[in-house]
């Protein structure tokens, strides 16, 4: 029997406000342990939280970007559970009245557009971080009280590929509107995956499992794959899937049921009496709406329309705020969008990928890439030397002109000199020359290759091709 996956996500993103959600401690990643803390975020008895208005603003921005309704009224609730990373034994979150409701994100997968419903977005505090050692654990409360948004989707996703595109879209949107840096490796974007399977002909959803502890895109995809197969096996053997929370073990590539205590779902939510409700006037919501930047989806359409980029290229460039900004800066200085796009898509992204760097770390200034494109356009270097120059720019941060100068990489355009070289190489290699003349057209590439090699790749390839052909044919 064929089965279909049904997936809903709970995405947590840390907001990049200056300070925490209920106190004025710094919201900063990577500080020494337990240095960004105060009685409020250490949850000392009797301390009073005060809601950071930036958190509300950021949450609303996220809601608008993801097409949500923004109600005028919302409030904070206590979610009760005991765990050492949260010493007051409740997390301040939202339950009945979240900040944003009923949104929608469109994703394109395999040439099809699908609408993924957003159930709600709420704001809450993060817990501290447990640092497990052998035999004991330590707690770092720097993360305690860091503001989070939780984005809950409808069970609208149907494959790991859709989850990937959806998460990339969430990441791009949050990055563009400047509310989160969405670094999965630093834990500022985290995601729980709810998944069930059903026979393809069946309307009703199957029973779901919730997978926790997914810290990377690859973990998410492997977990979806593993868990859907596990559920199919359960169904095929005539048993029932249990509704449960499971922990993903990335090293073993398996999911395990969580211990009862961890999955106790009775949180006994109740209103937090220490915090006043949040009232947002229509004009306040409108002000935030008016301050929104161009969002990735609109940017993508603009790139297609204004710069005639392909759908694919435009998607990749607008997948990250940093590549989009970089592309736009380049186009301002070198108004040939296609050429700029090609260099970013092929060479820059390849180098970033190979060096394990993020789009936020592009080491080549936009002006330098434009400088290189100019050198290529003017024929100062040929395209293969251009790639060599670019690699050097990427590694050393030096401008292209300097690299070309220092390494003597200028293209050789001196037709007479190239001609002489062509004649000599043909004379020295009578066999391939005879092969060519007896009908083996491919033998020509041998001569072009030899000439390029003799000039360290610097000869103008067009001239070389023309002259080799002329001499062999003549």
Q: Which residues bind Zn ion (CB under 5 A)?
A: 23, 25, 38, 40-41
Encoding tokens for residue 387?
């790639």
- Cβ closer to ligand ADP: 205 or 279? 205
Q: What is the DSSP letter of 73?
A: E
Could you tell me the smallest distance in angstroms from the CB atom of residue 110 to ligand ADP?
21
Instruction: Return the number of the residue (76 or 209) whose C-beta is nearest ligand ADP.
Output: 209
Q: How far apart are CA 205 and CA 286, in angstroms?
A: 38
Listed ranges 5-13, 82-90, 276-284, 373-381: which one lies at the site for ligand ADP (CB under 6 A): 5-13
Residue 23 binds which one of Zn ion, ligand ADP, none, with CB within 5 to 8 A depending on kind?
Zn ion
> How far apart are CB 9 and ligand ADP at their closest, in Å?
6
Q: Which residues contact 454 (CB under 8 A, 6 or more apart)?
A: 421, 425
Q: Is 37 helix (H, G, I), strand (E, B) or coil?
A: coil
Shortest Å, Cβ 395 to ligand ADP: 44
In the bound state with ligand ADP, the residue whose beta carbon lies nearer, of 155 and 187, is 155
- Cβ closest to ligand ADP, residue 28 vs residue 154: 154
Nearer to ligand ADP by Cβ, of 79 and 171: the residue is 79
Give 22 or 248: the residue with its C-beta nearer to ligand ADP.
248
Q: Which of 73, 429, 120, 132 is nearest to 281 (CA)?
A: 73
Query: Out of 41, 86, 170, 195, which residue is the one contacting ligand ADP (CB under 6 A)?
Result: 195
Of 114 and 374, nearer to ligand ADP (C-beta) is: 114
Smallest distance, ligand ADP to C-beta of residue 159, A: 13
What's the min distance (Å) between Cβ of 6 and ligand ADP?
Answer: 4
The answer to whether the beta carbons of residues 41 and 175 sit under 8 Å apart is: no
Residue number, 21 or 116, with CB nearest to ligand ADP: 116
Q: Is residue 108 involved in binding ligand ADP (CB under 6 A)? A: no
> Residue 146's binding partner, choosing from ligand ADP, Zn ion, none, with beta-carbon cut-off 5 to 8 A by kind?
none
Task: Identify the three-state secondary structure at position 397.
Answer: coil
**Residue 279 engages ligand ADP in binding (rule: CB under 6 A):** no
String marking each residue 149-188 x if it binds ligand ADP according to CB under 6 A: ---xxxx---------------------------------
Report the residue number whose CB is nearest to ligand ADP: 8
Q: How far apart are CA 375 and CA 401, in angstroms?
A: 8
**Are 214 and 248 in contact, with CB atoms under 8 Å apart?**
yes
CA within 13 Å, CB half, 218 = 4
**DSSP H or E stretch at residue 9:** strand 3-14
25 binds, among ligand ADP, Zn ion, none (CB under 5 to 8 A by kind): Zn ion
Binding to ligand ADP (CB under 6 A) within 204-243 occurs at 205-206, 208
Distance, CA of 73 to CA of 58 (rounded, Å): 16
Cβ–Cβ < 8 Å for 277, 73: yes
The item of Zn ion, ligand ADP, none sharing an interface with residue 63, based on CB under 5 to 8 Å by kind, is: none
Note the helical H segments in 132-183: 160-176
Name the maximum alpha-carbon separation found in the chain. Answer: 96
Nearest distance from residue 102's CB to ligand ADP, in Å?
13
Q: How many CB atoms lie within 10 A of CB 344?
A: 23
Closest CA to 369 of 406, 411, 327, 407: 327
Rank residues 8 and 400 by Cβ distance to ligand ADP and give the closer one: 8
**440 Ramachandran zone, left/alpha/beta (phi>0; psi -120 to 50):** beta
Beta strands 244-249; 209-214: pairing state: parallel
From CA 235, how far away is CA 265, in angstroms rounded?
Answer: 25
Site for ligand ADP in 347-376 (CB under 6 A): none
Please state the closest distance from residue 341 (CB atom) to ligand ADP, in A.
36
What is the distance between the terminal CA atoms of the chain, rounded to a whole angstrom? 68
- With CB under 5 to 8 Å by kind, the binding choice for 154 among Zn ion, ligand ADP, none is ligand ADP
Do the beta carbons of residue 166 and residue 107 sit within 8 Å?
A: yes
Q: Report the distance separating Cα 102 and Cα 117, nearest Å.
A: 7
Q: Residue 47, SS3?
A: coil
CA-based radius of gyration for the chain: 29
Nearest approach, Cβ of residue 283 and ligand ADP (Å): 32
When asked if residue 98 is in the footprint of ligand ADP (CB under 6 A), the reply is no
Contacting ligand ADP (CB under 6 A), which of 8, 67, 145, 386? 8
Residue 6 interacting with ligand ADP (CB under 6 A): yes
Contact call for residue 10 and ligand ADP (CB under 6 A): yes
Choice from 3, 9, 331, 340 touching ligand ADP (CB under 6 A): 9
Residues 134-153 that bind ligand ADP (CB under 6 A): 152-153
Neighbour tally for 87: CB within 10 Å: 17
Which residues would be at the binding site for ligand ADP (CB under 6 A)? 6-10, 152-155, 194-196, 205-206, 208
């Amino acid at each position: 029997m064929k089965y279909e996956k049904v997936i809903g996500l709970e995405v947590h993103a840390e907001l990049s406000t200056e300070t925490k959600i209920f106190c004025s401690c710094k919201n900063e990643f990577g500080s020494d342990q337990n240095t960004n803390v105060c009685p409020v975020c250490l949850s000392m008895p009797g301390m009073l939280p005060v809601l950071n208005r930036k958190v509300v603003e950021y949450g609303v921005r996220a809601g608008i970007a993801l097409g949500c309704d923004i109600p005028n009224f919302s409030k904070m609730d206590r979610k009760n559970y005991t765990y050492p990373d949260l010493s007051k034994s409740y997390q301040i979150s939202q339950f009945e009245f979240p900040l944003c409701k009923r949104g929608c994100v469109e994703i394109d997968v395999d040439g099809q557009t699908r609408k993924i419903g957003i159930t709600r977005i709420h704001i809450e505090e993060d817990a501290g971080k447990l640092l497990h050692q052998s035999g004991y654990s330590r707690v770092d409360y720097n993360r305690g009280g860091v503001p989070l948004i939780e984005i809950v989707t409808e069970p609208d996703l149907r494959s790991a590929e859709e989850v990937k595109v959806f998460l990339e879209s969430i990441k791009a949107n949050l990055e563009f509107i400047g509310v989160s840096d969405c670094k999965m490796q630093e834990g500022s974007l985290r995601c729980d995956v709810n998944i069930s399977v059903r026979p393809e002909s069946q309307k009703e959803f199957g029973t779901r499992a919730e997978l926790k502890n997914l810290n990377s895109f690859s973990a998410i995809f492997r977990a979806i794959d593993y868990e859907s197969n596990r559920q199919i096996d359960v169904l095929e053997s005539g048993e029932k899937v249990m509704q449960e929370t499971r922990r993903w073990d990335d090293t073993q590539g398996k999911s395990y049921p969580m211990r009862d205590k961890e999955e106790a779902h009775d949180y006994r939510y109740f209103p937090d009496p220490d915090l006043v409700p949040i009232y947002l006037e229509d004009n306040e919501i409108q002000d935030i709406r008016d301050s929104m930047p161009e969002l990735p989806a609109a940017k993508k359409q603009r790139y297609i329309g204004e710069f005639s980029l392909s759908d694919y290229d435009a998607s990749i460039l607008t997948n990250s705020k940093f590549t989009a900004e970089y592309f736009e800066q380049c186009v301002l200085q070198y108004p040939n969008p296609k050429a700029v796009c090609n260099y970013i898509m092929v060479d820059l992204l390849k180098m970033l990928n190979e060096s394990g760097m993020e789009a936020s770390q592009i080491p080549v200034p936009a002006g330098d890439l434009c400088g290189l494109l100019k050198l290529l356009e003017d024929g100062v270097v040929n395209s293969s030397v251009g790639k060599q120059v670019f690699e050097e720019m990427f590694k050393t941060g030096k401008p292209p002109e300097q690299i070309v100068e220092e390494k003597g990489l200028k293209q050789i355009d001196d037709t007479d000199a190239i001609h002489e070289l062509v004649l000599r190489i043909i004379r020295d290699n009578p066999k391939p020359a005879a092969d060519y003349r007896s009908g083996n057209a491919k033998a020509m590439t041998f001569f072009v290759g030899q000439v390029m090699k003799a000039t360290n790749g610097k000869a103008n390839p067009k001239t070389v091709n023309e002259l080799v052909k002329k001499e062999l044919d003549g």
